[in-house]
Amino acid sequence: MLNLPAVASWFARRMRFLLVGSVIVLVPLLLAVLAPARQSVPPPAADPPPYSAVRLPENYRETFIHYATVERRDRITRDIYISPDALAGYRLNRPLPDGTVVVIEGYYAQTDADGQPLRDDDGHFVRGEPLEMVHVAEKRTNWSPGDFVGVARSGNWNFGSFQYDTGAYFDEIMSRCFDCHNSTDNTDFLYTFADVTRFAQTGTVHFTYCDLSGRSPC
Residues that bind ligand HEC (CB under 6 A): 70, 78, 80, 102, 104, 135-137, 159-161, 172, 174, 176-177, 180-181, 190-192, 210, 215, 217-218
**Inter-residue contact 85 to 191 (CB < 8 Å):** no
Q: Which is nearer to ligand HEC, 75 or 78 (CB)?
A: 78
Q: Which is nearer to ligand HEC, 126 or 131 (CB)?
A: 131
Environment class of 198 (CB within 10 Å of its CB; exposed 0-12, middle 13-18, buried 19+): middle
Q: How far is the CB of 34 from ligand HEC (least distance, A)?
A: 41
Q: What span, in angstroms and rounded, lies between the C-alpha atoms of 218 and 133?
A: 21
Cα distances (Å, whole numbers) of residue 190 to 62, 171, 179, 181, 195: 22, 22, 12, 7, 10
Q: What span, in angstroms and rounded, lies between the C-alpha atoms of 106 and 115?
A: 19
Q: Which is nearer to ligand HEC, 28 or 130 (CB)?
A: 130
Q: Which is nearer to ligand HEC, 5 or 56 (CB)?
A: 56
Residues 6+ apart with CB under 8 A from 51: 149, 160, 169
Q: How far is the CB of 193 from ligand HEC (least distance, A)?
A: 7
Q: Which is nearer to ligand HEC, 30 or 168 (CB)?
A: 168
Q: What span, in angstroms and rounded, lies between the C-alpha atoms of 86 and 89?
A: 5
Please report, as a single letter, which amino acid is at residue 93: N
Q: How far is the CB of 168 from ligand HEC (least distance, A)?
A: 14
Q: How far is the CB of 163 from ligand HEC (least distance, A)?
A: 12
Q: What span, in angstroms and rounded, lies between the C-alpha atoms of 126 and 17?
A: 86
Q: How far is the CB of 115 from ligand HEC (least distance, A)?
A: 22
